[in-house]
Chains A and B, each alone.
Chain A
Amino acid sequence: MEHHLQTPLKIEDIEKLNAGDIVYISGEILTARDEAHARILEMGEKGEELPFSLEGAVVYHCGPLMQKTGKGEKKDWRVVSAGPTTSGRMSKMTPPLLKAHNVRVIIGKGGMKNVSEAMKDRCVYLAYTGGCAALAAELITEVKTVHWIDLGMPEAVWVLRVEKFGPLIVGIDTKGKDIFAEVREKAEKVLAEMRK
């Protein structure tokens, strides 16, 4: 089944998505990877306010390759290449992130371990084809702004406007069904058979 979503997202928008469905997203998305996750959690612990809102947000595990086209204005950036990074590195930080903020969609590649429980009734994980960075760049229509550029280009939080961003495959749905975990379990069984 194919779905088209528009940000910001409500829980009703994502509850209808089932593992294996195809999704396209339009609107605003934010990039965040290792360092940004760590800083979001750290600021939360200190009770500090984030410079951006994660309410109904789409978080994209991505360290884009950007090129500066202007002289220091935040908007003067061009997206060169912006595919998903390995979500597995964010596995541990994701349950506390979802507890503190109403993030409704996480986009990444390769899946995450032990997050499906934390995602139940809250968030979906959408898989974007790893390495497809030229394709992703085509679907990003605007670089709205950038936060935390001090973390470096790949680790900063880029606020991007996207148009029909996809195809994204629902990897983990709000019911807790996790395609990656199922594939892994099956592979382990095949290996156990081979060892016999």
Chain B
Amino acid sequence: MFSKISRETFIRSIADLLRKAEIELPDDVIEALRKAEAREENPVAKSQLQAILKNIELAKNHGVPMCQDTGIMIFFAELGTEFQSGFDLEAAIRDAVVLATVEIPLRPNAVNPLTRKNSGDNTGVEIPDIHWKLVPGKKLKITVAPKGAGSENMSALRMMNPTETGSIKHVVLETVINAGGMPCPPLTLGVGIGGSFDKAARLAKEALLEPLDAPMSSFEKEILDAVNALGIGCMGLGGSTTALAVHVKTAHCHTASLPVAINIQCWANRHASVVFGEEE
């Protein structure tokens, strides 16, 4: 059985989803930033957090992207095994990105990695980046997470020795110090441990989608407290909040391996989701 959604309606929904993600932050992210501003005692850091909160409000009121780096488009799709669209979903997502680039508008960020030639519409080889996960059921859930380069560039992947589990926290701290103010703290840190070279990075990125008010494990809390003790603060100018949350995701790995990926997210933890096929 095919879903009732037409290709046109699907494209419209994805373009609207992109607009939402670029202009409005999820409530849990705004709340975490408000709390950070309320508890901050460093006057410079406080002024930076106040500017961020004002910027969030302005972007929403004026309907413009909150950051000029509107990112590259990363999609996480959970496809129900019984969901059938009747059209090429990837091509439709691609068309939605082109449409949104003109409509919202978005900054054209996608370039050929070697010639550096800009495609002009945020698409290109393997981009938008779409991750498919098959799940049971009749629904299709799509989450878009536009990712800016400032934070992505400061992310790290380390193939550690299997006996170095105790050093994972220090690797995260080194990564955060090296990044300083460059990735626009206060940060959210996604840490992927295990799996393989690529799986660890995927886990780290997926960890960034966890709600900021989700309970943290004692390991996550321990890393968060250590990161905040560094005093890097908002924008690297000093202060008590360097990160808002740390989320760790793990996967079993080879006995001789310990891949650790740290994906850094700036304060603008942009993402939005939509579900298709709900009414069936």
Q: B182 on the interface (CB 8 Å rule)?
A: yes
Which one, B64, B153, B183, B268, contacts A80 given CB within 8 A? B64
Residue B266 CB within 8 A of the other chain: yes
Q: Is the CB of A131 within 8 A of B226?
A: no
Given A64-B68, A186-B231, A187-B230, A110 contacting B55 (CB threshold 8 A): no
Are B68 and A191 closer than 8 Å at their CB atoms? no
Which B-chain residue is minimally distant from A88 (CB atoms)?
B182
Q: A100 at interface (Cβ–Cβ under 8 A)?
A: no
Stretch of A9-17, A39-47, A51-59, A132-140 that contacts chain B: A132-140
- For the complex, give the distance between the alpha carbons of A169 and B59 in Å: 22
Task: Give the residues in chain B near A195, CB-CB below 8 Å.
Answer: 170
Interface residue from A22, A137, A153 paired with B108 (Cβ < 8 Å): A153
Given contacts A80-B64, A183-B232, A194-B226, A86 and B52 within 8 Å (CB-CB): no
B127 lies within 8 A of chain A by Cβ: no
Expressed in whole angstroms, the minimum distance between the Cβ of B23 and any Cβ of chain A is 9
Assess whether B31 is interfacial by the CB under 8 Å rule: no
CB distance from A96 to the nearest CB of B (A): 21
Cβ B68 vs Cβ A111 within 8 A: no
- Within the complex, the shortest CB–CB distance from A39 to chain B, in Å, comes to 13
Residues in A whose Cβ lies below 8 Å from that of B182:
86-88, 109-111
A183–B231 CB distance below 8 A: yes
Q: How far is the CA of A132 from the CA of B51 in the complex (A)?
A: 7
Size of the chain A interface, CB-CB below 8 angstroms: 47
Interface contact A133-B66, CB-CB below 8 Å:
yes
A31 to chain B minimum Cβ distance, whole angstroms, is: 10
| Contact (A188, B68) CB under 8 Å given A88-B182, A169-B47, A180-B237 | no
Which residues of chain B come closer than 8 Å to A138, judged between CB atoms? Answer: 58
Contacting A at CB under 8 A, from B214-236, are: 226, 229-236
Q: How far is the CA of A97 from the CA of B115 in the complex (A)?
A: 25
How far is A135 from B47 in the complex, measured between Cα atoms in Å? 14
Contacts of A83 in B (CB 8 A): 55, 67-69
**For residues 1 through 34 of chain A, which have their beta carbon under 8 Å from a beta carbon of chain B?**
20, 22
- A residues within 8 A CB of B118? 152
A133 interface neighbour in B55, B229, B237, Cβ under 8 Å? B55
- Does the CB pair B236–A110 fall under 8 Å? yes
Q: Mark A66-77, 1 if CB is under 8 A from B, else 0.
A: 010000000000
| Cβ A153 vs Cβ B153 within 8 A | no
Q: Judging by beta carbons under 8 Å apart, are B67 and A81 in contact?
A: yes
Q: Which of A100-147 contact B (CB under 8 A)?
A: 109-111, 127, 129-138
Given contacts A81-B64, A86-B182, A184-B177, contact A130 B231 (CB under 8 A): no
The 9 closest A-B pairs by CB, nearest first: A130-B184, A110-B182, A134-B59, A110-B181, A187-B230, A81-B68, A132-B55, A133-B68, A129-B51
A and B contact pairs by CB, cutoff 8 A, 28 listed: A64-B107, A65-B65, A65-B68, A81-B67, A83-B55, A86-B182, A86-B183, A109-B235, A110-B150, A110-B180, A110-B184, A111-B180, A111-B182, A127-B235, A129-B234, A130-B184, A130-B266, A131-B184, A133-B59, A134-B64, A154-B107, A167-B47, A183-B237, A183-B238, A184-B232, A187-B230, A188-B177, A194-B229
Residues of B in contact with A (beta carbons under 8 Å apart): 44, 47-48, 51-52, 54-55, 58-59, 62, 64-70, 105-109, 111, 118, 148-150, 153, 170, 173-174, 177, 180-184, 226, 229-238, 266-268
